[in-house]
Amino acid sequence: MFYLGEYDEETAKEIKSYLDKAGLKVDTRSCLVMEEETTYTLKDKLSAVKEFIEDKSQLEQYLSALKSVLPQATPENFEDLFLKELDPLMMEKRDKILTLSENSESLSPKEEEPLKFGSEEWMDSALFVSRARIFSGMIFSLNDIKIGEAIENKLDDPIIEITVDPDDYEEMPEQMKCDIDFYLEKAVNIFVDEFTTPLAIDLNDEFWDTYPSEAQRLKVLGLLIEKLATAPDSRKMDFAEFAEECTMTLEDDSSVLNVYGDDVAEDLARVLEKSGVVKWKGDKLKWKSKD
C-alpha cells in the first residue's frame, strides 16, 4: 500500500470520499499522535531583560499607554481607551466604519473614501489589536494589576515575559526558561492500493485544487504503475532490467518531472505480482497473458 499521508478525521474522510469516487482502493487507519511545542522565554523585571528585547520602542509605547489610561479605566472601557491611546487615528477610522455599518447614510461618500481598508491594512490592524491585548494581559497577570484599582508603582519596573530564540545567544541568559508542551491527538493515516493509482486521472478538479500535493503524487505513481504493467515485446525481463524501468521522466515545454523508484523495485514487482500482472520467479519476471 502507498502511504498518502496523515490527517485529522474530517480531512481524511473528505479525501477518502474523493478517492472512492474515482475508483481508487483506499485503506484508513486511526492512530494517536503527539505534537510537541517548545517555547523559550525570559521572565524577570523589565530592567533585567530589557537588553534582550529587540523592539524596545514598542514595549515602551505599550507601557506608556497603560500608565496613561489605567487611572481612569474601568473593566468595560479599558480596551477601547488603551487602543485609542496607542493609535488614535486607526481607532477613529474603526469607529467610523462601525458607525457606517450601523447606518449607511451616516457619512458622505467623501467621508467614506478614506475608510476603505485593503487586505494588508486589515491584517495589520488585527495584529496590532492582538499584540496589544496579549501584552496588557501579560502585564496584568504577572504584576497583580486589576483594572479599577490603584496601580501604585507596579508599572515603574514591571515583571514581563518575552519569547526568545535560544540560537540568538552565545551564552544563555540565566532567566531563560524552556516550556515543552505535548498535545495528544487522534489522526488518520491514508493508504492507497498502488495498482489502482492509474485511476487518479479521474480525480476531479476540486480535489486537485484542494489537495494538489496528494493529487500530484497519486497521478505520478499511477503513471509509473501503468508503465511497469505494460508488457515488453518479449513478455519477459531480468529483474535488474526491471529495476531500471522503475524510473521515469516526463517533460514538457516548461518542466521536467523525474520519478525514481529503483530503490523499491522489489516492492513494485510484488504489486504487479499480487495484481496478477506478472509472475516473478528467481531473477526473472514474466508478464501474464491477458487471455
pLDDT (mean) for 5-16:
96
CA angle 13/17/23 to nearest 5° reads: 140
pLDDT tens digits, 41-86: 999 998 888 887 777 888 888 899 999 999 999 999 998 888 888 8
CA angle 36/39/42 to nearest 5° reads: 165
pLDDT tens digits, 76-131: 999 888 888 888 777 666 666 666 555 555 555 555 555 555 556 667 777 878 88
Residue 123, pLDDT score = 73
Residue 109, pLDDT score = 59
Residue 104, pLDDT score = 55
pLDDT (mean) for 142-167:
90
- Residues of the chain above pLDDT 90, percent: 61
All 3 cell numbers of residue 53?
528585547
pLDDT tens digits, 271-282: 999 999 999 999
Residue 126, pLDDT score = 74
User: 154 CB contacts (<8 Å, ≥6 apart)?
Assistant: 143, 144, 145
Residue 87, pLDDT score = 81
Q: Residue 198 has what DSSP assignment?
A: G
pLDDT tens digits, 147-156: 988 888 899 9
- Tell me the angle at which helices 56-69 and 119-142 cross, rounded to the nearest 10 degrees: 70
pLDDT averaged over every residue in the chain: 88
Residue 101, pLDDT score = 56
Q: How confident is the model at residue 269 (pLDDT cuts 50, 70, 90)?
A: very high
All 3 cell numbers of residue 170?
552565545
Residue 1, pLDDT score = 94
pLDDT (mean) for 233-245:
94
Residue 175, pLDDT score = 86
**Is the predicted pLDDT of residue 223 greater than 60, yes or no?**
yes
pLDDT tens digits, 193-216: 999 999 999 999 999 999 999 999
**Is the predicted pLDDT of residue 146 greater than 80, yes or no?**
yes
Q: Which residues pair with 238 in a beta bridge?
A: 284
What pTM did the predictor assign? Answer: 0.67
All 3 cell numbers of residue 225?
504503475
**Is the predicted pLDDT of residue 284 greater than 60, yes or no?**
yes
